Amino acid sequence: MTKLFYLFLFFLFTNYQLYGQQVNNNDSLYHIQDNVLVKMTDGTLISAMVVTKKDAVLPLPVIFQFTIYVSPSRDIFSLKLAADRGYAGVIAYTRGKKNSPSEIIPYEFDGKDANEVIDWISKQSWCNGKIGMYGGSYNGFTQWAAAKYKHPALKTIMPIVASIPGMGLPMENNIFISPNYQWAFYVTNNKTLDDSVNNDYQRFDKMEEKWFASGAAYNKIDSIDGTPNKWLQRWLSHPAYDNYWQEMVPYKDNYTGIDIPVLSIDGYYNDSQISNLYYLKEHAKYNPKAEDYLIIAPYGHFGAQVGGDSVINGYKVDDVALIGVRNIRYQWFDYVLKGGKKPAILKDKINYQVMGTNTWKSASALDKMSNKKITFFLSEQKKNKNLQLSSKKAKKNGFVSQKVNFADRKSENGGFYPNPIIQKKLDTANGIMYVSEPFSESIEVSGAFEGLLKISINKKDVDISIALYEQMPNGETFQLSYFVGRASYAKDMTKRTLLSPNKIEEMPITNSRLASKKLSKDSRLVVVIGAIKIANYQINYGTGKDVSAETIRDAKENLHIKFYNDSYIQIPVWTE
């Protein structure tokens, strides 16, 4: 059974934020307020800490973090770093955390509370009225959540691998995902963090296996674990990206008045990439004059927070991809808050490392990373025993079919996670593989693939995975990107529209992961596609009922899915 223990890491804020950094350990050099309580308008007390240098000339610009991850010694360390660079450092915590006497509530009040803390900071004698926010993962979410309120003192945000509740944790493209199941316990079991539960991999491995084998409804998974998970149950009651989720972050017109400069950092192999880039896409859509910058390279969720790891999922990254996020952070704040120079890496709005070239490139927008899209159709025709990714649309209708027995718990479908990135041989037993003709010359793939599936199923819904690979001339494959999504939400993540059994339906593919790589001459593109049935995800049996309430009794007849040959994948490329 393939274990995808990655998304539970989705929202951890670890010492990676501080890796390689040093501060003066002499506390006598600093004013340290580690027991501040800030009163919200509804009476809630928010716990905060403030650090300034004793020899600083006040007032100062402020670097502010808002987080659910409480680690006092680490957090003081980060505040000293800000103080050493000529700022006042402030960190505040989700209501209920650290010294706050309230109930711990993830997500729901963070934007409002962070905005009120910003207002409080702006009125302090040590603040000059200029505040910037930074941080990774959950801390990236809180920055956009605060920016929604457009406080005049908030001058910039620097989100790294920012999450969007409801779009990554606890679900992606409307599919609930199990490997981050224990996150709610980790952050709500006590006033700091429950490392013991978060590190109990055996417990949650066993839970997933038992749930998968049992055929129980997904909303019963906590009973299999043996501990009620009230937050999961609350989230499961919102399978659409509805008002519950929308209220937590900017949504549609909320982006219009967010006029502050934004610097985002992300990675091609970051699990929450679709969340982080969604903010930027929506900001650009509703505020075309937005001053948004992006740095993106072959980083994972943690690597992006420090400027990369030399090896990710077995792939040795190009040396030039390894950058210093700490220096870029303070260069950025000096640029916005102190009138300094813009970080040198920001040659344009989008700054990306092209894997395999040891170079960086820049573009004015995400869609300008490519200047051409190559369309490949999912042909039912074979060549050298492989189904073809064809550059030409078939003249006659045809299809390739897949059958999935959801009652069979001895096999899984949908192995798509990029670990390892490079494989000697793809395991395609549980998917359908399409292979292109070899490229006559090297080609740069840069951007996120899109497409349109023409499918028919004998049920009312299905979850689909698509993985995109380069098959190198030596036969090994390099995973570029992947997509997972629920067909009934593919056209509108806020509203479920069931499929009509045995009718040809369209499923747009629009929310895949972005990557950039130079593909060598004689390489081929490979697409592996199929229905999802794995222990780490909800199982969509296709009845049309709430997927969280479906059980193995709903399996009944096997899923029959047909992928028609006018289905296509569009690959963004840069050509000279």
What confidence category does residue 136 fall into, taking pLDDT thresholds of 50, 70 and 90?
Answer: very high
Lowest mean pLDDT among 111-120, 270-279, 422-431: 422-431
Phi then psi for residue 89, to 5 deg, are -100, 130
**pLDDT tens across 33-73, in order?**
999 999 999 999 999 999 999 999 999 999 999 999 999 99
Phi then psi for residue 403, to 5 deg, are -115, 135
**pLDDT tens across 518-566, in order?**
999 999 999 999 999 999 999 999 999 999 999 999 999 999 999 999 9
Exposure letters 41-76 (e unless 16+ CB within 10 A, then b): eeebbbbbbbbbbeebeeebbbbbbbbbbbbeebbb
**pLDDT tens across 188-242, in order?**
999 999 999 999 999 999 999 999 999 999 999 999 999 999 999 999 999 999 9
What confidence category does residue 6 fall into, taking pLDDT thresholds of 50, 70 and 90?
Answer: very low
**pLDDT tens across 444-472, in order?**
999 999 999 999 999 999 999 999 999 99
Whole-prediction pTM? 0.95
Lowest mean pLDDT among 23-32, 271-280, 373-382: 23-32
**pLDDT tens across 108-127, in order?**
999 999 999 999 999 999 99
What confidence category does residue 168 fall into, taking pLDDT thresholds of 50, 70 and 90?
Answer: confident
Phi then psi for residue 230, to 5 deg, are -65, -30
Contact 87, 60 (CB under 8 A): yes
What confidence category does residue 24 fall into, taking pLDDT thresholds of 50, 70 and 90?
Answer: low
Dihedral, CA of residue 108, residue 483, residue 370 and residue 389, to nearest 10:
-170
Tokens of 509: 């593919």
Q: Please check the confidence at residue 8 and state whether its pLDDT lies above 80.
A: no
Q: Looking at residue 1, what is its pLDDT? A: 34
What confidence category does residue 27 fall into, taking pLDDT thresholds of 50, 70 and 90?
Answer: confident
**Beta-carbon neighbour count of residue 433 at 10 Å?**
17
**Per-chain mean pLDDT for the chain:** 94
Q: Please check the confidence at residue 319 and state whether its pLDDT lies above 70.
A: yes
Tokens 């023409």 belong to which residue? 454
Q: Please check the confidence at residue 510 and state whether its pLDDT lies above 80.
A: yes
Nearest to 262 by CA among 302, 294, 307: 294
What confidence category does residue 9 fall into, taking pLDDT thresholds of 50, 70 and 90?
Answer: very low
What confidence category does residue 429 fall into, taking pLDDT thresholds of 50, 70 and 90?
Answer: confident
Q: Please check the confidence at residue 252 and state whether its pLDDT lies above 90.
A: yes
Ordered by where they begin, the domains of the chain are 7-367 (3.40.50.1820), 372-574 (2.60.120.260)
Nearest to 413 by CA among 528, 314, 299: 528
Q: Looking at residue 25, what is its pLDDT? A: 75
Q: Please check the confidence at residue 13 and state whether its pLDDT lies above 50.
A: no
